[in-house]
């Protein structure tokens, strides 16, 4: 039993991608709302995006030299054991110095050494698994974790039923209420009222196939009365922007990155997106028709499994990456030409939403510490 007079000390570990980092920050924010005097320390991987994003959110972070084990033959695998041992030793030192009440792992190889060391010292650990197919690190650490917060039903195939809490994925607060934002969104993005809005999302870096599919169909989209709000991503922005300018199209709005996602969602009649865990969770809250084009370049093809969890509930449509170029517009037309389908997809998507995910995860952690 914790002494209630002393502030909580919580360590949160994981990262590598936004899909791990943003839920971690959302959990920290929700915990701090209830326990403002708490000390929270993040632990990530040196050189990864968490080392920038976590301090920007107002939290301290310490980096480990840990790196992932490559699935293919690679020279970098030779250094893996040395980096792992160094990360384990540093984790033990951090635990001794910080003396946390609990350690939370959000997945990614960065969470492995700290949670393993914490479990070895008998410190309570909790895992948050964002995907419908559990990551390797989380599967290895699950047996000694007190609780595992999951975003999808049916995760008993990876974790013991007794340890699972179905909480959903934490998402940004500004998308919880889109009421009354549509007019502001149209003004902000320079959209017109008499055209349907198709929101295209491929992640912050961009999705090659989605961008090529849009380029292939953009003239047909504009001709048939659509307007596109298109986040092309950092790697593809210049190429896409130049091709839009050369085409002379007036209703294809290409952006490198969209920060005002609440306005983008409010404007959209339909969304085309990859199926990363965070994107899927956000879109369930938005409750609009979605075409998922899962990335084939991810571990265990987990984006396809994320998408299928919604397709199986008639809450979304999935278009395979290999079929997207040349087929995107016909799929969009098929959905938006059917008002009954549009309505049912939105309703079924919203049924799967978990708007209190961060708060529920905090409640699970409180019960562990009670």
Ligand-binding annotation for 172, yes or no, is yes
Give the tokens for residue 86: 């160094």
* Phi, psi of 296, deg, nearest 5: -85, -5
Ligand-binding annotation for 280, yes or no, is yes
Ligand-binding annotation for 165, yes or no, is no
Ligand-binding annotation for 345, yes or no, is no
* Phi, psi of 71, deg, nearest 5: -75, -25
Instruction: Enumerate the β-bridge partners of residue 229.
Output: 199, 253
Ligand-binding annotation for 359, yes or no, is no
Size of the chain, expressed as the number of residues it contains: 370
Ligand-binding annotation for 131, yes or no, is yes
Ligand-binding annotation for 233, yes or no, is no
Ligand-binding annotation for 19, yes or no, is yes
Ligand-binding annotation for 77, yes or no, is no
Ligand-binding annotation for 303, yes or no, is yes
User: What sign has the CA pseudo-torsion 282, 284, 285, 287?
Assistant: positive
Ligand-binding annotation for 277, yes or no, is yes
Ligand-binding annotation for 258, yes or no, is yes
Ligand-binding annotation for 66, yes or no, is no
Sheet of 196-201, strands arranged across = 252-255, 226-231, 196-201, 270-273, 290-292, 317-318
Ligand-binding annotation for 282, yes or no, is yes
CA distance 191 to 37: 45
Which residues are part of a known binding site for UDP-N-acetyl-alpha-D-glucosamine?
17-19, 131, 172, 204, 258, 277-282, 303
Which residues are part of a known binding site?
17-19, 131, 172, 204, 258, 277-282, 303
């Amino acid at each position: 039993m914790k002494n209630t007079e002393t502030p909580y000390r919580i360590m949160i570990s994981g990262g590598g991608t936004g899909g791990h980092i943003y839920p971690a920050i959302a959990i920290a924010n929700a915990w701090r709302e209830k326990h403002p005097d708490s000390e929270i320390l993040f632990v990530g991987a040196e050189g990864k995006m968490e080392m920038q994003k976590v301090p920007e959110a107002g939290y301290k972070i310490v980096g480990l030299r840990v790196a992932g084990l490559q699935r293919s033959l690679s020279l970098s695998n030779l250094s893996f054991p040395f980096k792992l041992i160094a990360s384990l030793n540093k984790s033990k030192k951090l635990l001794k110095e910080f003396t946390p009440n609990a350690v939370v792992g959000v997945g990614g190889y960065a969470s492995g050494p700290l949670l393993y060391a914490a479990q070895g010292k008998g410190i309570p650990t909790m895992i948050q698994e964002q995907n419908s197919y559990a990551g390797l690190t989380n599967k290895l650490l699950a047996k000694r974790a007190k609780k595992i917060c999951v975003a999808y039903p049916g995760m008993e195939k990876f974790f013991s039923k007794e340890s699972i809490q179905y909480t959903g994925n934490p998402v940004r607060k500004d998308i919880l209420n889109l009421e009354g934002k549509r007019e502001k969104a149209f003004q902000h993005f320079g959209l017109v009222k008499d055209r349907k809005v198709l929101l295209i999302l491929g992640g912050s870096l961009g999705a090659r196939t989605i961008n090529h599919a849009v380029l292939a169909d953009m003239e047909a989209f504009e001709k048939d009365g659509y307007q596109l709000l298109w986040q092309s991503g950092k790697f593809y922005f210049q190429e896409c922007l130049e091709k839009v300018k050369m085409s002379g199209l007036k209703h294809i709005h290409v952006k490198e990155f969209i920060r005002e996602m609440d306005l983008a969602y409010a404007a959209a009649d339909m969304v085309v997106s990859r199926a990363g865990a965070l994107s899927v969770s956000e879109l369930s809250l938005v409750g609009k028709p979605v075409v998922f084009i899962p990335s084939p370049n991810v571990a265990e093809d987990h984006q396809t499994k994320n998408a299928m969890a919604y397709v199986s509930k008639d809450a979304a449509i999935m278009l395979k990456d290999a079929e997207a170029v040349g087929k995107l517009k016909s799929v969009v037309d098929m959905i938006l030409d059917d008002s009954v389908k549009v309505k049912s997809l939105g309703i079924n998507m919203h049924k799967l939403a978990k708007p209190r995910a961060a708060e529920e995860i905090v409640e699970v952690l409180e019960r562990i510490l009670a």
